[in-house]
């Protein structure tokens, strides 16, 4: 039997695929290789003759029903972990179409195939963004969903559709909602890698608004360990929050990065805020903790290692930043710098 990891060439999916392969599991990855997908993320397992035997890659779209059913019938899949998504909030604000396709319709195609082939476990990787912003308490799994940007809303659609397949068809679905991930191989469009790589290039670090938004950071390896744990110990039909327990103001994270790299704090610039910017994400993870799991990596240690990884792997991110990214960055950030400096 094999595990199917959709979106396995992306940031989190590639870490999870490596983890499965190193455990000796036959691992099939289906990935469309969008701007965010990168097979280089799995170069170590592909280039190693021992691990490459356990690995098979299909380039394609999770919305392609024929391809998805072909993989199910060819590969003897018993578990599916769906990481495939359009994942960047700012891109969803500029243009939401791909988000609706992949994060909602794609989930539907996977669920239908999983039902048809009677698989044993379907893990839908959702996100804490489905709860929206919190002003007071950390969110529990039973709280109402209140997504506030097109990415979060499309993920909420996938999340609830997966749940409906459990209730209606008893498809063994588990839904996970993690907080903000960081670590090696994260695309430089995201806050932490953007700020590290801009600092390394002596470019401005564009901090949205007053920078007092709060994110709860979890190291990608902690997140993958949690999913692995939930595959063994989680209950079908349940939702599990996965938080890092590291709530930080963005502005403090930015200063930490500059200090670590011994760069001037004058590189930091307050720019026009993100539309509908969620102020704070916070998760109550007592449900997962009661099963015996909690995050291990302290944010400042994990962030130091991550900064080091970006220093040591400049060819990885420079290739990305020199490609499609140039156009994206100009379009996305030009208007933000237009005379909007805050204190």
**Which residues contact residue 87 at a Cβ distance below 8 angstroms, ignoring those fewer than 6 apart?**
10, 11, 36, 151
Active-site residue, from 58, 131, 151, 182: 151
Which position among 2, 3, 4, 10 is part of the footprint of ligand NAD (CB under 6 A)? Answer: 10
Question: Which option in ligand NAD, ligand DAU, none does residue 130 bind, with CB closer than 5 to 8 A by kind?
Answer: none
In the three-class reduction of DSSP (H, G, I as helix; E, B as strand; rest coil), residue 106 is classed as helix
Is the Cβ–Cβ distance between 85 and 37 less than 8 Å?
no
Question: Which option in ligand DAU, ligand NAD, none does residue 282 bind, with CB closer than 5 to 8 A by kind?
Answer: none
Which position among 62, 89, 104, 220 is part of the footprint of ligand DAU (CB under 6 A)? Answer: 89
Q: Per CB under 6 A, does 87 bind ligand NAD? A: yes
Closest CA to 315 of 182, 200, 146, 214: 200
Annotated catalytic, 128? yes
Question: Which option in ligand NAD, ligand DAU, none does residue 307 bind, with CB closer than 5 to 8 A by kind?
Answer: none
Annotated catalytic, 333? no
Is the Cβ–Cβ distance between 179 and 216 less than 8 Å?
yes
Q: Per CB under 6 A, does 270 bind ligand DAU? A: no
Q: Per CB under 6 A, does 88 bind ligand DAU? A: yes
Q: Per CB under 6 A, does 288 bind ligand NAD? A: no
- Chain positions 203 to 262 lying near ligand DAU, rule: CB under 6 A, are 206-208, 213, 215, 250
Q: How many residues lie near ligand DAU (CB under 6 A)?
A: 19
Closest CA to 283 of 159, 163, 173, 130: 130
Question: Which option in ligand NAD, ligand DAU, none does residue 198 bind, with CB closer than 5 to 8 A by kind?
Answer: none
Q: Per CB under 6 A, does 176 bind ligand DAU? A: no
Q: Per CB under 6 A, does 79 bind ligand NAD? A: no
**Least separation, in Å, of the C-beta of 62 and ligand NAD?**
4
Cα atoms found within 13 Å of the Cα of residue 284, Cβ hemisphere only: 12
Is the Cβ–Cβ distance between 30 and 58 less than 8 Å?
yes
User: Cα separation of 204 and 190, whole Å?
Assistant: 15
Region binding ligand DAU by CB under 6 A among candidate stretches 33-41, 103-111, 161-169, 189-197: 189-197
Stretch (H or E) spanning 241:
strand 239-242
Sheet holding 180-182, edge to edge: 180-182, 214-219, 247-249
Shorter beta-carbon distance to ligand NAD: residue 119 or 242: 242
Which position among 7, 172, 184, 302 is part of the footprint of ligand NAD (CB under 6 A)? Answer: 7
- Chain positions 13 to 42 lying near ligand NAD, rule: CB under 6 A, are 13, 30-34, 36-37
- Structure tokens given for 18: 């490596």
Q: Per CB under 6 A, does 125 bind ligand NAD? A: yes
| Nearest-10 crossing angle of helices 191-200, 299-312 | 50
Q: Per CB under 6 A, does 92 bind ligand NAD? A: no
| Nearest-10 crossing angle of helices 314-321, 299-312 | 80
User: Residue written as tokens 């901090």?
Assistant: 207
- Structure tokens given for 244: 């890092």
In the three-class reduction of DSSP (H, G, I as helix; E, B as strand; rest coil), residue 102 is classed as helix
Question: Which option in ligand NAD, ligand DAU, none does residue 217 bind, with CB closer than 5 to 8 A by kind?
Answer: none
Annotated catalytic, 208? no
Active-site residue, from 128, 189, 216, 247: 128
Surface-to-core class of residue 111, CB atoms within 10 Å of its CB (0-12 exposed, 13-18 middle, 19+ buried): buried
Site of interaction with ligand DAU (CB under 6 A): 87-89, 127-129, 179-180, 190-191, 194, 206-208, 213, 215, 250, 274, 281
Site of interaction with ligand NAD (CB under 6 A): 6-7, 9-13, 30-34, 36-37, 61-63, 83-87, 102, 106, 125, 127, 155, 178, 180-181, 187
What residues are annotated to the active site? 128-129, 151
């Amino acid at each position: 039997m094999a595990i199917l990891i959709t979106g396995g060439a992306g940031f989190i999916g590639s870490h999870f695929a490596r983890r499965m392969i190193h455990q000796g599991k036959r691992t099939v990855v289906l990935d469309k290789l969008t701007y965010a997908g990168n097979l280089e993320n799995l170069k170590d397992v592909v280039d190693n003759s021992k691990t490459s035997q356990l690995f098979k890659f299909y380039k394609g779209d999770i919305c392609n029903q024929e391809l998805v059913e072909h993989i199910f019938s060819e590969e003897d899949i018993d578990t599916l972990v769906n990481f495939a998504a359009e994942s960047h909030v700012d891109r969803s604000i500029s243009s939401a179409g791909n988000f609706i396709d992949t994060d909602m319709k794609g989930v539907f195609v996977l669920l239908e195939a999983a039902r048809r082939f009677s698989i044993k476990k379907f893990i839908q990787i959702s996100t804490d963004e489905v709860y929206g912003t919190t002003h007071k308490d950390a969110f529990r799994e039973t709280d109402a969903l209140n997504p506030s940007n097109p990415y979060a809303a499309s993920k909420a659609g996938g999340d609830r559709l997966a749940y409906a397949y459990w209730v209606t068809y008893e498809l063994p679905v588990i839904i996970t909602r993690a907080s903000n991930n960081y670590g090696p191989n994260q695309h430089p469009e995201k806050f932490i890698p953007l700020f590290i790589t801009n600092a390394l290039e002596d470019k401005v670090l564009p901090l949205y608004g007053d920078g007092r938004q709060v994110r709860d950071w979890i190291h990608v390896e902690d997140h993958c360990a949690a999913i692995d744990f939930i595959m063994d110990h989680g209950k079908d039909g349940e939702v599990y929050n996965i938080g890092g327990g590291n709530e930080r103001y963005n502005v403090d994270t930015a200063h930490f990065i500059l200090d670590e790299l011994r760069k001037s704090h004058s590189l930091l610039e307050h720019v026009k805020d993100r539309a509908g910017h969620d102020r704070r994400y916070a998760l109550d993870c007592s449900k997962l903790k009661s099963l015996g799991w909690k995050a291990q990596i302290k944010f400042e240690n994990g962030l130091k290692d991550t900064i080091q990884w970006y220093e040591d792997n400049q060819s990885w991110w420079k290739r990305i930043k020199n490609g499609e990214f140039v156009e994206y960055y100009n379009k996305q950030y030009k208007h933000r710098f237009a005379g909007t400096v805050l204190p």
